[in-house]
A and B are shown apart, each in its own frame.
Chain A
């Protein structure tokens, strides 16, 4: 999907020397730059009028609009929407974009590309969080403990050094045939 290609779009558009239109979402004869600066996100709103303007810009109610706290992290006036994934939305409603379960013009979450249906999912779980954590932690802890014990007390098939016949291969290893051949017994009866 051509989601993050706003720069590409403005590159490919013909430079038409037409007037810049006030409402950029209705007509098709656009100026060279597609959207006006006041429709884009801006700095953090300080006065209630700025908040009302920002809420109108993002198509939200003034009471619903809540910007990120102004601690210099770079969010500006972008709204802080609830952290819910798209998977939680109604599958049977006729969304404008059914795959993303989103309507046209609806404000997108800052982490929208994280909350799509293929990725992070905040739907309710069959078991509650604490049970899940305890189960996982218990299993992983148990396995780690068992592996640790296995390192402490290894158990394997008994092994011995390899034994060779003919007195440990005395002649083959370069022993003199006339000399006294040392008797090597590798067995015990």
Chain B
């Protein structure tokens, strides 16, 4: 197992990365430890709720609540601010399609109308 090759849908795990053992600085190690500590605290909270025999309800996940609230309009609209980027996006998505689609449909329909008037196109003809 000395030669680990990354498989098509599996990237190299952290425990087999030579960088982890050879080049990691103490600050990075400390950061990893802190992340592990946070994860362990959350795990403890979750498991104590999960295995509590007196629990009768679902375990509520505040991260999930926050995520769904963040994507709600109640959070997005107060944080919206007209800036160059948002104005440009609004213009491109809201105003430009009106004109572009009007132009495209109008020219296409006019062309068809011209052909039908000349008799070159017969959309509902029954005899041929």
Chain A residues within 8 Å of B, Cβ to Cβ: 3-4, 6, 24-26, 28, 34-35, 39-41, 43-44, 57-61, 63-64, 71-76, 78, 87-88, 90, 96, 103-108, 110, 112, 121, 123-126
Contacts and interface: CB of A to CB of B under 8 A. Distances in A.
B128 to A, nearest CB: 16
Contact of B79 (A43, A60, A90, A126): A43
A41 B69 contact: yes
A-side interface mostly = loop
B75 A41 contact: yes
How many residues of B sit at the interface, in one of the four size bands?
A: 35 or more
B80 A104 contact: no
Interface stretch (B40-48, B98-106, B108-116, B117-125): B40-48
Contact of B38 (A25, A57, A60): A60
A74 B68 contact: no
B63 A124 contact: no
Contact of A6 (B59, B68, B80, B82): B68
Nearest to A28: B57
A123 B85 contact: no
Contact of A75 (B62, B63, B79): B79
In the A-B complex, the 5 residue pairs with the closest CB atoms: A72-B81, A74-B76, A104-B46, A72-B83, A105-B42
